[in-house]
Amino acid sequence: MTDPGMALGLAGLTLKPLYAQTQAEDGDGPNWPGVRRASFFRLKRSTKLLALLFATFLAPTARGDEPRLSINGYDPVAYFTDGKPVQGKPEFEYSWHRLRWRFASGEHRDLFTRDPKHYAPQYDGYCALGTSADEAAHKDTVDPEAWAIVDGKLYLTHNRYLLEVWRENAKEHIHQADQDWEAVKDLPGPEIVGSPCAASPPTTKVALRDGGHWIVVGGQVARNEAGNVVGKGDLRAQIEQVGKNVGACLNAGGAAVKDIIFTHSYVTQPVEFDKYADLRQRYFGPPSPKSTTLPVPQLVSPDFLVQVEAFAKIR
């Protein structure tokens, strides 16, 4: 199990971002009502709540025919009883909905077995925002730290940034996801792409309702194959290294730069970042109205100037 702080370190992020959002328009990207035209200043009011960004935690891939471990082995009951995420233990496990659920104690397991519909997260523990994306609805992995209880029901999202997007229109997202879930629940679960992509945040392949797939490239920073920082103090060099890393992950998942439909870029120098439009297009594809540039005060190390997460669609 990856410690939250360690996962953030590998992602190249701290939990102190400010961010902007952009309008989701027609096309292959998700039509999430909570994603709006650049609203950095409007959202600044909730900075204390937005200790976010990518500390994405995966439900490990099932071994053979063994059911998948849900919400990365965290205890679903603890969200209600303790008001926080608590890691479950292998000795307290229960199978339900073709998934394995773990609990911190036998008491919590017994509470769950008596009333699983009350304690289980909605949509079998997959991302509540991903399942509300209408035609792009899908099963996606979640960060157990990105959670909310609304009207007595537990919801989780892919990461804490997307949790805040979801919160902006929670009722609408819930309504849409409840409708979409009937079509999504039988889709395959997300697959981890693996090497050469970093284990955390992971790169995944998720199945869409139309038979296609998204390759979701976990946030890439300017590290080379040896794990060394590339281009200290040089934004251009870092964009190039990040672009190479994104390209390697796309190739591993069966995609290419031409398949990218949108990106999320986390930058410490947004004005300077805008000056490299041609370079960004080479590595991340043409500009998209669904892409976001998110200013952050600092990544996990002052040596990192940019991190990029990419979404590509393939058949």
pLDDT digits 0-9 by tens, 262-295: 999 999 999 999 999 999 999 999 999 999 998 9
- For residues 314 and 261, the answer to whether their CB atoms sit within 8 Å is no
Query: How far is it, in rounded angstroms, from Cα 293 to Cα 31?
Result: 18
| CB neighbour class for 62 (10 Å; exposed up to 12, middle 13-18, buried from 19) | middle
**Who has greater pLDDT, 33 or 98?**
98
pLDDT interval class at 48 (50, 70, 90): very low
Q: What is the pLDDT of residue 201?
A: 78
Q: What is the mean pLDDT of the chain?
A: 83
| Statement: residue 21 has pLDDT above 80 | no
| Statement: residue 26 has pLDDT above 70 | no
Domain residue ranges in the chain: 4-46+190-314, 68-184
SS3 for 43-71 is HHHHHHHCCCCCCCCCCCCCCCCCCEEHH
Query: How far is it, in rounded angstroms, from Cα 304 to Cα 232?
Result: 7
Q: Which residues have CB under 8 Å from 50's CB, separation 6+?
A: 17, 18, 19, 43, 160, 161, 164
Query: How far is it, in rounded angstroms, from Cα 125 to Cα 71?
Result: 6
Residue 278 is given by DSSP the state H
Contacts 24+ apart (CB under 8 A), 223-226: 225/196
Rounded mean pLDDT, 71-99:
97
- H helix and E strand count, the chain: 10, 11
Q: What is the pLDDT of residue 291?
A: 93
Three-state DSSP class for residue 17: coil
| Statement: residue 236 has pLDDT above 90 | yes
| Statement: residue 45 has pLDDT above 80 | no
CATH no. for 4-46+190-314: 3.30.1330.40
Query: How far is it, in rounded angstroms, from Cα 148 to Cα 157?
Result: 9
